[in-house]
Chain A
Amino acid sequence: MEADHELGGHEAASDDRVGFGFWVYLMTDLLMFTVLFATFAVLRNNTFGGPTGRELFSLPAALSETLILLTSSFTAGLGMLAARRGSKNQVLTWFGVTYLLGIAFLALELREFTAFIHEGHTWHSNASLSSFFTLVGAHGLHITLGLLWMGITLVFIWVRGLDSHLIRKLTLLSLFWHFLDIVWIFIFTVVYLMAFV
C-alpha cells in the first residue's frame, strides 16, 4: 500500500485530520465547562444571605432561550443538508435563520443579566452569583464567537460561492453550534430547573 500523504489523497486526509482535531478541541472546551459546572454546583447555595436562584430566575425566560437554541440547531442542520446538496441560497437562508435565532438568544440573556444588575445582584454580591454569571456568561461568550464565525463564513459564501473549504468550515461551525446547544441543555437543567427543585 502506497503512502497517501502525497498529493492524491491529501485533501481527504487533511479534512479527516482537521475534523478529528476539532473534536479534540471540543472536548477540551467541554472540560473547561465542566470546571464551571462543578464550581457552580459547589457554590450555588453560597448566597451569604442574598437571594437564591429560585427567587431570581424566570423559568419561562429560560425555557424560551432553550427553545430558541434548539430550533437554531435544527435550522443549522437543515443548512448543512443544503450545503451537501451544494445549494448556496438555501445555505444562506437556513444559516441566516440560525444567526437570527442566535441573536435572539443573546438578547434574552442580556436582558436577564441587566435585570439582575439593576436590582443589585451582580457578580460581586456573593459566590453563588459569581459562579452563575461566569457559567452562563461563558456560554454566551461562546455563542457570540460562534455568531462572529458564522457571519464571516456566510459573507464568504455569499461572495465566493460554496467551495470545499467553506463547506468544511460550515461543518466545523455546525459541530460547534450543536456542542453549544448541548452545553445549554445542561445549563438549563443544572442552573435553572434544579433551582426550583
Chain B
Amino acid sequence: MREFLLGRLNAHALPHEWFTIGGTIGFILLPLLALAVLVRIKGWKWLWGEWLTSVDPKRIGIMYFIVAGFMLIRGGMDAIMIWLQQALTAGNAHGYLGATHGYLSADHFQQIFTAHGNIMVFFVAMGFIFGLINFIVPLQIGARDLASPFLNTLGFWLYVGGVVMVNMFFGIGGEYAATGWLAVAPLSETQFSPGVGVDYWIWSLQISGIGTTIGGINFIMTILKMRAPGMSLWKMPMFTWGSLCSMLMVVTVFPLLTATLFLIFFDRYLGMHFFTTNLGGNAMMYTNLIWMWGHPEVYILILPAFGVFSEVVATFSRKSIASYTSQVLGMIGVTVFALSVWLHHFFTMGAGADVNAFFGVMTMVIAIPTSVLVFGWIATMYKGRIRYTVPMLWFLGFIGIFTIGGMSGVLLAVPPADFQLHNSLFLVAHFHSTVIGGVLFGVFAGLNYWFPKFAGFRLNERIGRSAFWCWIVGFCLSFIPMYILGIMGATRRLDHYDASTGWQPFYILMLIGGLVIATGVALQVIQIIASVIQRRQLADFTGDPWDGRTLEWATISPPPSYNFAVIPNVTTRDAFQEFKERGGLPQAKYKDIRVPYNTASGIYIAAFAFAASFAFVWHIIWLAVAGILGVIICVIVRTFNDNIEYTLTAAEIENAERSRKKHILPKKTEEGEDMSLWEFIKIAVTWGLGFVGLKRRVHGS
C-alpha cells in the first residue's frame, strides 16, 4: 500500500547531508519566505491578479527576469563551489568535511557541475532571453501582445516547473545527475546512474523544454503575423530578426530534445534498450541526437544577443546599422548552418576522417556570417558619434571576449587539434568565453539598455560601470588561466589531480577571478537598488531616454498594458527615428481593441505537468496518471472556452491617454549625479542602523 502511494519515495529522500540541508534552506525555503513576505506586504490578490495570472508579455517578461536572476545566483554559487574544490585539491592534500580530496566527494562534485551547466543554459540564459523577447519584440513590431497570450503564460509556467524541479531535489531525493550537463549515455543509464538524479535531470529539462517550444511557436506567429502595417520583414529591427531566427531554430531542434529525453526516460523507466550497453543499445546514437539539439541551442542563445548588440551599437553611435542586409543574411546564415555542424562535439568518438573533416569544414563556414556581423558593427561605429553608456561598455567587453572565444572555437573545429583539446579546460574556456562574453553580456547590455522602458527610470551608470569592470577583470582572471591549463593537458570535470602537474596555482587564480565576478554580480544587484532609491532623479519622462531609433521608444515608460493607443503605420527601417525626423507620431483615431483576460490555466496545466514529472521520477503511478489526466482536462477546458477576451473601448483608451499625459511632466525634478558605490554603502549602513535602532526604541520604551 505504501509502495502504491509513495512509489520509491522513502524517508531517506529527505535532506540529511550538509549540502542538501543547505540547498533546501537556500533554494526552497528562502524563496518561499520571500514570496510570503511579498504576499504579506502587497496581498495575495495583487500577486495573483496582477502578476501570476497575467497574460501581458511585459509582466511575463519581468517574471522571467526575476526567476532567471535567482537562478543566476544559484548557478554562480555552483561555480564558486567548483572553483573552490579545484583550488583546494592538489594531490594528496587532505580532505575536509568528510571528503577524500578537497571538501566535496567526487560524486557530489560531479552533480554540482552538471547542475551548474543545466541551470545556466536552460534557466538563466533562456530565461533572460525569453524575458527580453516577451517585453521588447511586440513593442518593436508595433503589436499589442503575442499571438497567443495563453500559450505565453503556459510556456512561462512550464519554465517555472523546470526551475522548481531542478531545485526540488535538495529537499526530496538529495541527488542530481552526476553525468555532465548533457547526461551522455550510457553513463546516464540505470546501469551506471541508478539513483533519481538523472530522472530529475530528464524531467526538469523536459518540462522547460516543452515550454520553450511553445514559446518558440508563439514568437514566430507573432513576428510573422502581427507586425504593424507597412513593416515588411526587411524593415524589422535587428533584435526582432535575431529573435525570429532564434525561435525558428527553437521549433526545429527542441522537438529533437523532447524526443531524445523521452527515449532515455523509456530506457530508465520502462527497461527499453535505446542506449544501453546491452541487448543492442547504441549509446553513440544518444550522442548524435543530443548534440543535434545541443549545438543549435547555443546559436539559439546567441542570436538574440547579437540582435541586442546591433540595437545598442546603432543607438549609441547615433547611426543606423551599417549594411542591414548583410547583418540579416548573416543571422539567417548562422541559423541555417547551425544545423550542419553537430558532430564537431565528438570528433574523438571515432567517425572516419571524411566525416570529421566535413563537419570541421562546415564549422569554418559558420564562422563566416559571425565575422560579417562583427565587421558590420565596426562599420556602424565608423563616423558615428559614440556615447559610452553602460550598454555600450558591455558591447566592447563582448567584442574582446567573444572574439577570443570564437577563435578558440575555430581551433577546436580542426579535428586533429581537437583530439588534443577535446574535453580539456581549453574547451571549457572556449564555451564560457562565447556564452558569457556573448550571451550573458548581451543580456546585461539589453537589461541596462531597456531598463528605463521596463521601470520608468534608468539604471545608475556609475555603479553599472564598476560592475562591468569587475566582470571583465574577473572573467580574465578566471578564464585565461583556464585556456592555459587546457594546453597544459588538464581535463575538465576533475575533482582532484596530482600536485606534480603544476596546475594548482592556475586553479587558485581562477577562484580569485570567480570571487571578482561574484563582486560584479553583487554590484549589479546594488546598481538596481541604488537606482530604485534614486528613481525620481533617474526618471524617464519622455519614453525615449537614449534617443532611440526603433518603435519601442515611441511609448511611455513603462508602456500601458495595450502598448500603443494607436498602431502606427510604418514606412521605413528605424521607424521611430523616421517619425522623430518627420515631427512626431501621426495622430490617428482611437479604436476599440480586444484584450485577453488573465488566466490561471497556464499555472494549472504546468502544475499538473509538474506533478506527473515528479511521479515519473519516483515511480508513483497513480500520481502520474492523475497529472496527465489533469493536463488533458485543463487543456480541453481552456480550448473549448470561447470567452477569453473583452473589449477595451476607444473612449476608455482616450481617457487613459489623457490622464497619463497630465502626469508626464514631473511635479518635482531632481538634479544631481548618479549615486556612487561609497554613497550607497553609507545609505545602506545608515538604514541598517536605523532599522536596528528603531526596533530597540520600540522595545525599549
Contact = CB atoms under 8 A, between A and B. Distances in A.
Contacts of B258: 32
Given A28-B213, A131-B274, A17 B280 contact: no
Contact of A5 (B143, B262, B279, B569): B143
B229 A3 contact: yes
Contact of A47 (B266, B272, B280): B280
Nearest to A1: B229
Given A42-B285, A123-B272, A152-B636, A5 B593 contact: yes
B271 A126 contact: no
B147 interface: yes
B282 A125 contact: no
Contact of B279 (A32, A127, A131, A165): A127
B252 interface: yes
Nearest to B647: A7
B220 A17 contact: no
Given A7-B592, A17-B221, A35 B281 contact: no
Nearest to B640: A156
Interface in A1-43: 1-7, 10, 13, 16-18, 20-21, 24-25, 27-29, 31-32, 34-36, 38-39, 42-43
A28 B225 CA distance: 19
B218 interface: yes
A24 B569 CA distance: 28
A31 B228 CA distance: 32
Contacts of A3: 228-229, 566-567, 569, 591
A181 B263 CA distance: 23
A151 to B, nearest CB: 10
Nearest to B275: A127
Interface in B54-106: none
Given A21-B221, A48-B279, A27 B271 contact: no
A5 B226 contact: yes
A125 B230 contact: no
A56 B285 CA distance: 25
A134 B225 contact: no
Nearest to A21: B221
A3 B220 CA distance: 20
A49 B569 CA distance: 69
Contact of B263 (A4, A34, A134, A152): A134
Nearest to B266: A134
A148 interface: yes
Chain A interface mostly: helix
A31 B278 CA distance: 28
Nearest to A149: B636
A17 B225 contact: yes
Contact of B229 (A2, A42, A128, A130): A2
A124 interface: yes
Contacts of B254: 28
A66 interface: no
Given A32-B259, A130-B266, A134-B266, A21 B274 contact: no
Contacts of A7: 591-594, 647
Contacts of A29: 255
Contacts of A71: none
Nearest to B293: A35
B585 interface: no
Contacts of A43: 274, 280-282, 285
B256 interface: yes
B446 to A, nearest CB: 26
A171 interface: no
A152 B289 CA distance: 36
A96 B678 CA distance: 75
A148 B632 contact: yes
A124 B273 contact: yes
Nearest to B218: A21
Given A5-B144, A6-B593, A39 B274 contact: yes
B671 interface: no
B225 A1 contact: no
Nearest to B225: A17
Contact of B282 (A2, A35, A42, A124): A42
A165 B639 CA distance: 10
Given A3-B569, A17-B225, A127-B281, 10 more contacts: A17-B148, A20-B224, A21-B220, A25-B217, A29-B255, A35-B260, A48-B278, A134-B262, A148-B632, A156-B640
23 contacts: A1-B569, A5-B226, A5-B567, A6-B592, A7-B593, A17-B226, A18-B148, A20-B225, A21-B220, A21-B221, A24-B217, A24-B221, A24-B251, A28-B213, A31-B253, A39-B274, A47-B280, A48-B278, A126-B273, A127-B273, A127-B280, A145-B632, A169-B639
CB-CB nearest 8 A-B residue pairs: A46-B280, A127-B280, A35-B259, A3-B567, A130-B272, A31-B255, A6-B591, A127-B273
